[in-house]
Chains A and B, each alone.
Chain A
Amino acid sequence: MDSVTPRLGILASRVRYEEKSIMAALERRGAEFEYLDPRSLSVVGAAPREAPSFVFNREIGHFRAYYAASALESAGVTVLNTAAATRVTGDKWHTSAALLGAGLPTPATALAMTPDAALKALEEIGYPAVIKPLVGSWGRLVTRVTDRAMASAVLEYVAALPSPQSHVVYLQELVPKADRDIRVVVVGGTAIGAMHRRGAEWRTNVARGAVSEHCPLSRSHAELAVSAAAAVGADIAGVDLIEDEEGRVTVLEVNGQVEFRGFQEAEGSRVDVGDSIAALLIARAAA
């Protein structure tokens, strides 16, 4: 047994298909790891000697994932993805800002500090547009607005939400696209595969019933996905690309806690995501 592998911890409050496949791959490779439940985690001072010195963060809740990573890093633990990457990928505006800062193509986006300002910003972006919560996933509460009257009604609800953060409104142009998008999975700076997500609904989230299909990974898509993951600082990411009616490809989202059940089913034996991630973890833990 490699003497460095026991230093690896896996942090997750919910063990799903993804965590199970990564843990199984680690076991197949003979790597020891410690399962850590963030619900019983507190960090005081430096990490004790017997604690894992390298933690793979798979916590499903964004805020707990970010603060756990930050606290562990402050205690001297190496965390993957880093706390900084988790902060960026868990927040749609931070992600957009990182993509724009790196000069990568992404849909026209605005951040309005109040619902009233959002209504004005929508006049610039034009309709149809999309209002998205800054934090959240699986397409929840992502709302397509087709005209000012609809936007005004939606923003009235937004204004009534209790959280101050909810009143900062993220807006994006709705890119006319085919009924599918492209999900590229990036592990350690390499695009390991791609799939189409096709759905009858305009939100092509697997969580909303979109169907996953294998997609040959083109060099340009691979390069764009790797650049997007690098822009947000993520070692492991699921990058969503969309192609508009003129064939221009833009980066829609970068997911730092990538779910890959549908991806793995679409890829079949072409790629083993759990094993690719396990290999990266073993290499990084030994570094």
Chain B
Amino acid sequence: MQKITYAAECPECASAVTIEAEVRVSEIIECTDCRSELEIVSTEPPELALAPEVEDDWGE
């Protein structure tokens, strides 16, 4: 089966990042080039931002 992907630019290193079609907004992916954690801020059009830093009160 054909897999649908989108491409967006990594905000850290400007590499092309492949985004799978089934991702959701606010999901975190990783740039395969610079390993930055990236947040999906939009799927239409695909848009990425650096993921927020983990804060002290995060967790279960």
Q: Which residues of A contact B (CB under 8 A)?
A: 12-16, 19-20, 23, 35, 37, 60-63, 90, 133, 135-138, 140, 207, 238, 255-259
Contacts and interface: CB of A to CB of B under 8 A. Distances in A.
B27 A137 contact: no
Contacts of A258: 60
Interface residues of B, number: 13
Nearest to A66: B57
A60 B59 contact: yes
Contact of B59 (A12, A37, A137): A137
Contacts of A135: 56-57
- The binding surface of chain B is classed by DSSP as loop
B55 A61 contact: yes
Interface of B: 24-28, 39, 52, 55-60
Contacts, number: 56
Contacts of B59: 60, 62, 136-138, 140, 207, 255, 257
A144 to B, nearest CB: 19
Interface centre among A137, A258, A259 (most CB of B within 10 A): A137
A140 B57 CA distance: 10
B26 A61 contact: no
Given A35-B26, A61-B58, 12 more contacts: A15-B27, A20-B27, A61-B57, A63-B57, A90-B57, A133-B56, A135-B56, A137-B59, A137-B60, A138-B59, A140-B56, A140-B59
